[in-house]
Chains A and B, each alone.
Chain A
Amino acid sequence: MLSVRDLTVSIGSDAAPVDIVSGVSFDIGKGEILGLVGESGCGKSMTSLAVMGLLPQPGPRIRGGRIELVGADVTTLQPWQRVEAGHGRIAMIFQEPMTSLNPVRRIGDQIAEAVRVHDGLSGAAAWTRARELLEQVRIPDAALQLSAYPHQLSGGQRQRIMIAIALACRPQVLIADEPTTALDVTIQIQILGLLRDLCNRLDMSILFITHDMGVIAQLADRVAVMYGGRIVETADVATLFGEPRHHYTRGLMDCMPVRNLGARRLPTIAGQAPRPGTIRTGCVFAPRCVAAQDVCRTATPPRLALGEGHEALCAFPLDAGRPS
């Protein structure tokens, strides 16, 4: 449904561009959930904004690569051009629903607005469709809640409203950028369950962006791990957690407290993530990597094919069959 090839997003002048996303490629099949995981500044949100055609202007721009949505090249199209050309339907939800909702308009009006734009419905018909959408995201008393204002709802309910608005265009692809990060765990698990359920029922594909490996393990079918603007490892979720081959993937999992309960010390990844543009040669992870050799600092690491759909950007990958 969505195919991204060699996407490079840069900031700075054309003469001296700094790549914040470099050579990112992935595909998402129909009804599939791809988890894009990484720490702050790794380029995961910039990737999603580029795919949506929503890169902030002026600022970062697509310097290379191709984005295909349901078979059509949308790389250079603005969002309204995509809608007019009928090039596939894609929607996005964000971390903090309160900043995406209009605080002085009723929930029903905000959903109906999206319904009017996408379905051409008006008046009572749009309002009825809005109620259906609220029921789809399992807001109790949907008919009543249509006349509520955003501040009257909890964080979890606001995120459900955002999902309802996203569903108004009957998206084939939904991009979810840290949609549960601001929520409590008992609410987060409900939103994750809802997304999985919608994905199954509506045959929708989801690009799910998060920093949380636990959330990835719960929701994703396949996973792409991002570091320093690059995808360093891709695999299906069972393989990635069972046999991580990139040292960064392994490090990320090892340092999670829930995997080390009772240990006196947590394993760590030394140092900190690089700023974009500071590492120009060799592997971006080399300065923090326990297995780095001289060649890692000078030569771009190979993208190794390690099995079906399993790739790692590493010259000296971890052994297969070594359980994490």
Chain B
Amino acid sequence: MTTTILRVSDLKTSFNVKRSGRKYRVNAVDGVSLSLVAGEVLGIVGESGCGKTTVGRSIVRLVQPDSGAIEFKDTDVLSARGQTLREMRLNLRMVFQDPYASLNPRRSIGDSVAEAGDINKVFTSRAERAARIAETLTAVGLEPSFATRYPHELSGGQRQRAGIARAILPAPAVIIADEPVSALDVSVQAQVLNLMMDLREQLGLSMLFISHDIGVIGQISDRVAVMYMGRVVEMSGARSILDRAAHPYTRALMAAVPRPDPSQRIAGAIETGEPPSQFNRPAGCAYAARCPLVSERCRAEVPQLRPIGADDKVVACHNL
């Protein structure tokens, strides 16, 4: 039985940006559709400015989308107000990249972890509150005594564990993790990734896992969506993205991952260009200027996602 727990349809989010005295409207997310099945991890991978973070923040309404629809279970996320929105946010929890910036330095770890419960008055007594904090800290591999400590007393890995504890305390259905291990050293990154995989199994969490790191995404995700310039260009099972990348951008991205194997070096100078300016988007496919398969049609018409081959793979490319 697979039930879709979160459905995003044709999401568009844009921002006003001022540069050199001129105002621009930047379409950070430009028509993204995704669905998250209960219990699965959907990875969103892409490079800076591709809109992956804005997708995550739109879903929890940290930014207001221009158009599109977001449904969590049977609730319309975009029209939720007041109590409905607060309750929904107990179920859709975020984990951020920089746990130092996302934990209030003047509040104890315990207070930060319990904050969502406090706001929604879910604890019936002080004792219950303390017990829930201790239980949650234990679940993320921290001693319960960390509840009385402050963020500056913790290492980066411990802070990110506290960030995860804060997310899981209200027993959410969905975690939206935005680059949760990117600020950590590799040896600590592996510990935190293992923790997230364990919690996912123990708590039956569904996860939207956003990262620029193909290795991390490939490790934790069941399915992967690849984003470029505000759009999903390819989506399929994680193995299929890693082994059988179809879209020319996905292939370039895979080829650029520095493999930890000196016998697989990329030889010589590589000049594959840079993404176009956000302020001056080309018509047609945003990847056209860098694409080896480019044709006339690519410069005129935006390619739509369509099924290609097996693996439930969808790709937005005219030339495959």
Residues in chain A within 8 A of chain B (CB atoms) = 39-40, 138, 154-157, 184-190, 192-194, 196-197, 211-218, 237-238, 241, 251-253, 255-269, 272-273
Contacts and interface: CB of A to CB of B under 8 A. Distances in A.
A271 B156 CA distance: 12
Given A186-B252, A193-B270, A241 B186 contact: no
Contacts of B260: 213-214, 216-217, 241, 253, 256, 258-259
A268 B269 contact: no
B262 interface: yes
- Which of B213, B253, B266, B274 has the most CB atoms of chain A within a 10 A radius of its CB? B274
A189 B270 contact: yes
Contacts of A217: 258-262, 264-265
A185 B271 contact: no
A186 B186 CA distance: 20
Interface residues of B, number: 44
A155 B271 CA distance: 15
Nearest to A154: B274
Given A186-B47, A189-B270, A261 B262 contact: no
A190 B268 CA distance: 10
A184 B155 contact: no
Contact of B271 (A138, A213, A215, A272): A138
Given A217-B258, A217-B259, A272-B188, A266 B219 contact: yes
B157 A257 contact: no
B158 to A, nearest CB: 8
B35 interface: no
Interface of B: 47-48, 155-157, 185-191, 193-194, 197, 212-216, 218-219, 239, 242, 252-253, 255-266, 268-272, 274
A232 to B, nearest CB: 14
Contacts of B272: 186, 189-190
A217 B265 CA distance: 7
Contacts of A267: 190
A107 B242 CA distance: 39
Nearest to A265: B194
Given A192-B258, A217-B259, A268 B242 contact: no
Given A185-B257, A214-B260, A268 B215 contact: no
Contacts of A260: 219
A189 B259 contact: no
Given A186-B47, A259-B260, 13 more contacts: A39-B186, A185-B214, A189-B266, A192-B258, A193-B268, A211-B185, A217-B259, A238-B262, A256-B186, A257-B216, A261-B239, A268-B191, A269-B187
A301 B43 CA distance: 43
A268 B194 contact: yes
B266 A218 contact: yes
A186 B256 contact: yes
Contacts of B253: 185-186
Given A184-B48, A262-B239, A266-B194, A190 B258 contact: no
Contacts of B256: 185-186, 188-189
B243 to A, nearest CB: 9
